[in-house]
Amino acid sequence: MLKEIKTERIPIKMWLSDIEEGALAQARNLANLPFAHNHIALMPDCHQGFGMPIGGVAALDNVIIPNAVGVDIGCGMCAVKTTLEHISYPVLKDIMTGIRELVPLGFKHHQSAQGSENMPQREVDPILNPIVTREYDKAQFQVGTLGGGNHFIEIQKDENNHIWIMIHSGSRNIGKQVADHYNRLATELNEKWKSPIPRSAQLAWLPFDSVEGQTYLREMQYCVDFAFANRKLMMKRITDVFEQHCKGKFNAFPMINIAHNYAAVESHYGKDLVVHRKGATLATDGTFGIIPGSQGTESFIVKGKGNPESFNSCSHGAGRVMGRKQAQRSLNLKEEIKKLNEKGIIHAIRTQKDLDEATSAYKNIDVVMNNQKDLVDIVHRLTPLAVVKG
C-alpha cells in the first residue's frame, strides 16, 4: 500500500500515489456509506467509473449495490498456454484472419443461436431470474462474441517462448440488461425509503437479504457464468483456428479464467461481507490471475499473496490514464502506429477512432505491477505478438 486517506468515515487504502479527482471523489462516497466495512481499497489501475471507481474494492455489510459491480457483469480474462514455441509471421496473420471470421467483434452477433449447450448450465426461471429469462434467447446469439471497448483477443509469448492465447471479454448485452434493471430498481426503492445517500453518488443499494437483493444476486451470478461461457466458447473457436494452421497437440495446459466485475460473500476481519470488485481481481493466497497491459505492452500471469488490506484483491489491468474521447482527440495516430510497428505487433490501430485503445491511453503497466508487489507475484511475463480489438 502506498497511501491512506483517513478523512472519511472509514479509511481509503490506495496502491497508487496519484489518482484523478473524479475517482477519488467516488472513493470518498464509498467510504462514507454507513454499511461500508473497515476500509475501501483502491488498486493501482484505479480510475473513474460510474458510481464506484474502476479498480475499487468495497466490503459492505448486508448490502449489495448493482452499480458497484457495473454494467459488464462478469467481465474478465482467460488465458491458455500452448506447447507452441514459434509461429511465423505469415501463419500468425492467417490465424488472426481466421479468428475474425469465427468470432464476431464489437456490436456484431452470430447469425444463428449457438445452442443451450454453450450457455451456463444454471436454472432459468421467470420468477428466480426474470431478466435472464427475458434475454435468454437473444443471448444464444451473443455467446462466443468479443464485444467492444477494451475487450480483446491477443496472441503472446512468454519468457520461455511458449505461445499464449488471451481473451478479455464480458457478459455482452445480457449483463447490461441485468445491471441497468437492478440499478433502476435500487434507485426507485432508495427514493421510496428516503435513503440518506444522494442519488448523484450513483450508489443505489439493495438489502442483501431482501427479495430484490437475492434476485439481483442470482441474475448477477448467471451473468458471471455467461461471461465465462462466452470466453470459453471463443477460446474453443480460436484453438480450432490454431489447429488448422499448426501441427500437433498444442493446447495441453488448462485454461486460467478470472472475473473482475462481481460481488460475492466473503469473510474479512472476522465478518461475512458482500465484497464488490469493480475492475479488480481476486488474489487470495495461491490464486492464479491475469493482469493485461495495454495494446502493445506486456501482460502478466500472477499468483495472489492473500493480502487482507486489499480484501485479497489486485488490479485487473493497466488502467486508463485518459478517457476515450480525450485519447481520440489528443493522441497522434502516426506515432501510436509507429510504436506498435516497431515492436513487430500485428495490431488494431487503423484510424483516429481506434486511439481510444492506444498504448498511450493507459497507465504504465510496469508502474502498476511495481505498486502491487505486496498483492501478487509474477509467474509469467507475456509479450504481445498480435491483437484483435472489439
Beta strands 376-389 and 152-157, pairing class: antiparallel
The one catalytic residue in 151, 168, 276, 316 is: 316
Q: Give the Cα separation of 214 and 78 in Å (integer).
A: 28
**Residues near 105 by Cβ (< 8 Å), separated by ≥ 6?**
145, 146, 147, 148, 388, 389, 390
Closest CA relative to residue 258, chosen from 80, 76, 56? 76
User: How many helices (H) does the chain have, and how many strands (E)?
Assistant: 8, 17
Strand partners, 192: none
Q: Give the Cα separation of 127 and 316 in Å (integer).
A: 34
Residue spans of alpha helices (H) in the chain: 21-31, 89-102, 130-139, 172-192, 211-245, 324-330, 333-342, 365-370
What are the CA-CA distances from residue 35 to residues 27, 59, 203 (Å)?
A: 14, 9, 12
How is residue 201 written as a grid cell?
453518488
Closest CA relative to residue 25, chosen from 273, 205, 202? 202
Provide the 3-class DSSP secondary structure of residue 61: coil
Q: Give the Cα separation of 213 and 88 in Å (integer).
A: 52
How is residue 248 written as a grid cell?
500437433
Strand partners, 275: 59, 264
∠ CA 349-103-344, nearest 5°, is: 35
Decide: 26 and 48 in contact? Cβ < 8 Å: yes
316 among known catalytic residues: yes
- Catalytic residue positions, numbered: 316
